[in-house]
Amino acid sequence: MKNIEATLLLLMDNNKILLAKKKRGFGEGKYNGVGGKLEKDETPEQAMIRECNEEIKVIPTEYEKVGEIEFLEYINSEKVNLVFHLFLATKWIGVPIESDEMIPYWFNKESIPYDEMFSDDKYWLPLILEGKKIKGYFEFNENWELISKNIIYI
């Protein structure tokens, strides 16, 4: 089974959260944080900063790691173990703009479009927005149906 490490960053501005709509590839049409796979010899923090700059042209300056989520899922019919390092940023350089990969949108915490996001987000994202730090596990079958989940506070 293939193991993949990736990052996911959420930008917060008071009561608003930035989510980006994916324009192509895996997750196309869904809202999510910004992020992606770690490159060779890259730390999660370095990857998070690089991916944020590539995807929405912003450089995070004040942020913290708020959790890890492990996914057992299928990508292109291949079973993979995917670990996301979750970050939350409250300050950054630049203004989020559209790239060839994502379109950024601001949402009030109360109006997050969970029905246009991955099905696991509704379980862990509210906890992060409440200020909790988490470790999560989600397993999906080949049809992207949730088989099991577990979230603990760290």
Query: How many independent structural domains does the chain possess?
Result: 1
Beta carbons of 64 and 86 less than 8 angstroms apart: no
For 6-65, the pLDDT digits (tens) are 999 999 999 999 999 999 988 899 999 999 999 999 999 999 999 999 999 999 999 999
pLDDT grade for 75, boundaries at 50, 70 and 90: confident
**Looking at residue 50, what is its pLDDT?**
98
Q: How many H helices and E strands in the chain?
A: 2, 8
CATH of the domain at 62: 3.90.79.10
pLDDT grade for 150, boundaries at 50, 70 and 90: very high
Q: State which residues form the domain around 58.
A: 2-153
pTM summary value = 0.95
Nearest residue to 118 via CA among 146, 149, 98, 83: 146
